[in-house]
Structure 1
Amino acid sequence: MSSDIGDWYRGIPQISRYWFTGSVALPLAGKIGIVTPIQMIMNFYLVFYKFHFWRPFTALFYYPITPQTGFHYLMNLYFLYSYSTQLETEFYQGRPAEYLFALIFMWLCSLVLSCVLEIALLMDIMVMAVLYLWCANNKDVIVRFWFGTQFKAMYLPWILFLFNLVIRGGGMDQLMGILVGHMYFFLMFKYPQDFGGRQLIHTPQILYKWFPSTRGGVHGFGQRPFGGRAQRPGDDGGQDQPHRWGGSGHRLGGN
């Protein structure tokens, strides 16, 4: 069994594996008392006036594990693993620097929002931003939610926002994640292609040196990924096919 777990872990693509590992290790370290949870959260005053420069990084990985938050944390881990892995192995395949830049850009946007709105933890925002980016790239893919409901992936972020609003009484972090994901998608793809604007954000060359591309990109940099969808409706007998957990799509929740 340990060999199977090791093979699964090594099969996670590089950037997603770093993020996933930090999001498991740091919360567990806080849970067993190796690190102090209060030292991990984002605090604008302590960062800029007390020089706690580690907080913007630890706030990305840390999440409190309690009986009240445990299930939500596990769902975040699943979404992080699943959607980040698919983005890295599908659209960003062979181009880790470009995917890392996408995460860095969305992380910086999340930090700005956390300072303005006094948000202490960034996991919810970043996971939702990555989920939104996957959905924007696969908007016509059919996904399944709980109770057998089916809808296009483009609606999934909003369904999850409403779900958190009703069930957990929250939803602000998910809404901020949608905003952050849309900001990256708009500036990188939609504005240059649909509005004829200039490319406003670019992957720094230093990231290509650290994470060199392993093959030529299928999609031109700045081009809309997948033509707006990963699978064309009607390619299989004229029917949109619901996507399930794993592979190139998801089934969210159970029937």
Structure 2
Amino acid sequence: MACAIEPTPTCPNHLHASGHGSGGPSSFPPLEVSPSDYHFILLLRPRPASTRLTTRPERGRDLEDPNPSPLPHATRCLHPQSGRHTTAASIAITGRPVGWARQQGCENYWASMQKTSKSEGKYYNSLPPVSKAYGTLCFFTTVLVQLQILDPGLLYLSYPHVFKSFQIWRLFTSFFFLGKFSINFGIRLLMIARYGVQLEKGSFEKRTADFLWMMIFGAISLLVLSAIPYLETYLLGIPMVSMLLYVWSREYPNSQISMYGLVQLRSFYLPWAMLGLDVIFGSPILPGLLGIMVGHLYYFFTVLYPLASGKNYLKTPMWVHKIVARFRLGVQANSPVRPANTGPTAFRGRGYRLNQ
């Protein structure tokens, strides 16, 4: 019988299939299980008295074992859908039959697992559409690169490849690669999940088209800046995240941020603090600086300049409103375009009044 959990001090790796240990005081006596219990392997918590519960195949009921041993407690349950065995959380046995404990433990385990998966799915579905789509694309792009399914050499921005070899996809894929799995990748992805989501749910609430236009404006601006000599940047995902962080810091300038639990600072200074960390850890400073420049450009033309002059030269174009309405991406208050009706159209037509 194999050990139901990974080898630990309470579940050593010298437990053989026969159920006997390698000898000595830590060896395990055989644990007998009836043939009807082949879906489960139950390892019981040691009872306070010098007895423990086992199941004899000839009786199929709980008996007292006069030779107890310090067995770990875990339960392997058969998944109700996939049919696979999974180690469940440990359960305490207090005067209950083994079958009851096994059934109760598995039911509680699968109920908790389903609750956890439902809560995670509910959280993901509650995310605003633009931030969710961008973060998901960034995550799966890195996964494909890490699994060597996707070549990172095909993702970076290279204008000679774009114009000479017509590799147009580089204009888009350069925004979705945040690097391979690392601490920096995790930090950038968390920035999208926290600051991008908070920005879209807060300042851009019911303004999905405006938030999408901010992302599009930032992407176009970064592509233009990357074409300037001495400003070439081949992966534009980090500048895009930096732009989101800067706009968030301007919208919520007085929030208190704890950096690694060591330093407390106002959120207004967070983009510059992240820029300083890039310098300290030897990362390039240019991508983060470009993101701050583009973020300030957007914030100036959409917030600061309209407040001073009353004119907004960076309004969300009509075609962006049409995209949001066509694909029903979130909500846009006071949108000039009505959402497209995607219902059945087989029996739709013009009505006529019948003559009396």
> Normalized against structure 1, the TM-score is what?
0.79
Are 2:316 and 1:203 aligned? yes
- Tell me the C-alpha RMSD between the 2 structures: 1.7
Cα offset, 1:169, TM superposition: 4.2
**In 1, distance between residues paired with 2:259 and 2:151?**
36
Cα offset, 1:2, TM superposition: 2.8
- The equivalent residue for 1:85 is 197
**In 2, distance between residues paired with 1:215 and 1:32?**
38
- The equivalent residue for 1:181 is 295
Amino acid corresponding to residue 297 of structure 2 in structure 1? M
Aligned positions, number: 213
Are 2:148 and 1:36 aligned? no
> Residues 169 and 91 (structure 1 numbering): CA distance in 2 closer, same or farther, change over 3 Å?
closer
Are 2:170 and 1:58 aligned? no
> Normalized against structure 2, the TM-score is what?
0.57
**In 1, distance between residues paired with 2:323 and 2:224?**
26
Gaps of 5+ in 2: 1-115, 335-356
Q: Percent identity?
A: 27
SS at match of 2:133: helix
SS at match of 1:60: coil
- The equivalent residue for 2:46 is none
Which whole-Å deviations, capped at 9, do the CAs of 1:169-225 have from their partners, x for residues lacking one? 42221111111100100111111213x1632211111221221473637xxxxxxxx
Which whole-Å deviations, capped at 9, do the CAs of 1:104-149 have from their partners, x for residues lacking one? 0011111112222221101110001000000001112222223432
SS at match of 2:227: helix
2:125 to 10, 25, 28: 10
Cα pair 1:110 1:180 within 8 Å, conserved: yes
Q: Which runs of 4+ in 1 moved over 4 A?
A: none
TM alignment of 1:1-255, pairs within 5 A: 1-65=116-180, 70-116=182-228, 117-194=231-308, 196=309, 198-212=311-325, 214=331, 216=333
Cα pair 1:63 1:121 within 8 Å, conserved: yes
> Residues 46 and 215 (structure 1 numbering): CA distance in 2 closer, same or farther, change over 3 Å?
closer
Cα pair 1:97 1:207 within 8 Å, conserved: yes
SS at match of 2:174: helix
**In 1, distance between residues paired with 2:282 and 2:166?**
34
**In 2, distance between residues paired with 1:9 and 1:214?**
18
**In 2, distance between residues paired with 1:64 and 1:82?**
19
Larger Rg: 2
Amino acid corresponding to residue 9 of structure 1 in structure 2? Y
Which whole-Å deviations, capped at 9, do the CAs of 1:58-106 have from their partners, x for residues lacking one? 000023315xxx1101100000111110111111111111100001001
Higher percent of residues as helix: 1
**In 2, distance between residues paired with 1:35 and 1:216?**
39
**In 1, distance between residues paired with 2:261 and 2:142?**
31
**In 1, distance between residues paired with 2:160 and 2:215?**
24
SS at match of 1:100: helix
Cα pair 2:146 2:180 within 8 Å, conserved: yes
Which whole-Å deviations, capped at 9, do the CAs of 1:217-250 have from their partners, x for residues lacking one? 7xxxxxxxxxxxxxxxxxxxxxxxxxxxxxxxxx
**In 1, distance between residues paired with 2:332 and 2:128?**
15
Gaps of 5+ in 1: 218-255
Amino acid corresponding to residue 156 of structure 2 in structure 1? I
